[in-house]
Amino acid sequence: MKRLLFILTTVVLTSCAQNTDNKSNKGLLSTSLVSNPRSIAGTDTAKLNQLASMDFTDTLHDFGTIHEGESVTHDFTFKNNGRSPLVISSAVGSCGCTVPDYPRDPIAPGKEAIVKVIFNSKGKSGHQEKSVTISTNSKRGIHMLYIKGEVTPEGK
- pLDDT tens for each residue of 30-82: 655 555 665 666 666 677 678 999 999 999 999 999 999 999 999 999 999 99
Q: Which residue type, as a one-letter code, is found at position 151? A: V
What phi, psi does 33 have (nearest 5°)? -80, -10
Task: Give strand pairing partners of 79.
Answer: 55, 112
- DSSP strand pairing (42-43 vs 55-56): unpaired
Check if the beta carbon of residue 54 is closer than 8 Å to that of residue 136: yes
Query: In this predicted structure, what is the pLDDT of residue 21?
Result: 45
Compute the average pLDDT of residues 7-35.
54
Compute the average pLDDT of residues 121-139.
95
Query: In this predicted structure, what is the pLDDT of residue 129?
Result: 97
Residues 6+ apart with CB under 8 A from 59: 76, 143, 144, 145, 146
Q: Which domains does the chain have, with CATH numbers?
A: 65-152 (2.60.40.10)
Greater confidence, 4 or 20? 4
Express as a percent the part of the chain with pLDDT over 70. 70
Q: 17 falls in which pLDDT band (50, 70, 90)?
A: very low
Greater confidence, 76 or 18? 76
Does 25 score more than 70 pLDDT?
Answer: no
Q: 155 falls in which pLDDT band (50, 70, 90)?
A: confident
Check if the beta carbon of residue 48 is closer than 8 Å to that of residue 37: yes
What phi, psi does 32 have (nearest 5°)? -70, -15
How buried is residue 4: exposed, middle or buried, by Cβ count under 10 Å (0-12/13-18/19+)?
exposed
Compute the average pLDDT of residues 95-103.
96
Task: Give strand pairing partners of 29.
Answer: none
Q: 20 falls in which pLDDT band (50, 70, 90)?
A: very low
* Distances, alpha carbon 139 to alpha carbons 30, 81, 89, 93, in Å: 18, 11, 14, 22
Query: In this predicted structure, what is the pLDDT of residue 19?
Result: 46
What is the radius of gyration, based on Cα positions, of the chain?
A: 21
